[in-house]
Amino acid sequence: MLNHIHLLTWNSPETSLSDIMRDFKRHTSKRIAELLEQDNEKLFLYVFKRAGEWRSKKVKYKIWQDEFHPLAIYSEKWFQEKLIYIHNNPVKKGFVTKSEDWKYSSARNWICGDDSVMKLDLDVLFDSGECPD
C-alpha cells in the first residue's frame, strides 16, 4: 500500500518478531533514504528529516512509525484468509485490477511464479515447498 505494509513472516523461537521488524525497518529505511537522496526528492527527505528531528536527534530520517500491529497465525485457514486479504488490498483500493499486477505483492509469486521483485521461502511454510491449493 502507499502508507503502510502488510507482512506475513515466520520467526524461529530464537528470533522475536520485534527483532525482525527492527531489522526490516532499519534496512529499508536506510535504502529508502539512499534512493531519495540519489533522486534528489527534497520534499520526502524534508518530511522524513523533520520526523527524525521530532522523535530523536540520533536519526537523520524517520521513515517508519515505531509501532506495528501483529496478529498470530495459528492455522492454515487463518493464513489463507490473511494472504487473500493482503493480495486483494490493492485491488480493493482501486490501484490495480488484478492482485498480481501490484508490483510489490507476493501475489506475483503465488499466482505467476514471478520472484523478480522478492523471493519467498515457501519451504519454511510448507513441507513439500509447494503452494497450497
Same-domain check for residues 62 and 102 = no
- Does residue 84 lie within any of the structural domains? yes
Q: How many domains does the chain have?
A: 2
19-39 average pLDDT score = 94
Q: What is the mean pLDDT of the chain?
A: 85
Q: What is the mean pLDDT of residues 53-76?
A: 83
Position 29 in a domain: yes
Whether residues 27 and 62 share a domain: the answer is yes
Lowest mean pLDDT among 1-5, 50-54, 109-113: 1-5
In this structure, the answer to whether residues 66 and 80 fall within a common structural domain is no
Domain shared by 84 and 59, yes or no: no
In a domain, 66, yes or no: yes
C-alpha cell of 89? 488490498
- Residue 13 φ/ψ, nearest 5 degrees: -60, -25
Residue numbers of the domain that contains 117: 76-125
The answer to whether residue 2 sits within a structural domain is no
- CA pair distance 46, 52, nearest whole angstrom: 10
Q: Return the C-alpha cell found at 94.
A: 482501486
User: Which of 24, 47, 70 corresponds to the end of one domain?
Assistant: 70
Reported pTM:
0.72
What is the tens place of the pLDDT at every residue in 65-74? Answer: 888 888 888 8
19 and 56, same structural domain? yes
Question: How far apart, in whole angstroms, are the C-alpha atoms of residue 65 and residue 58?
Answer: 15
In the predicted model, is pLDDT for residue 58 greater than 50? yes
Q: Average pLDDT in the 47-69 region?
A: 83
pLDDT at 11: 81
Is 130 inside any structural domain? no
Phi-psi region of 40 (alpha: psi -120 to 50; beta: other; left: phi over 0): left
**Pair (11, 65) in one structural domain:** yes
* Residue 61 maps to a domain: yes
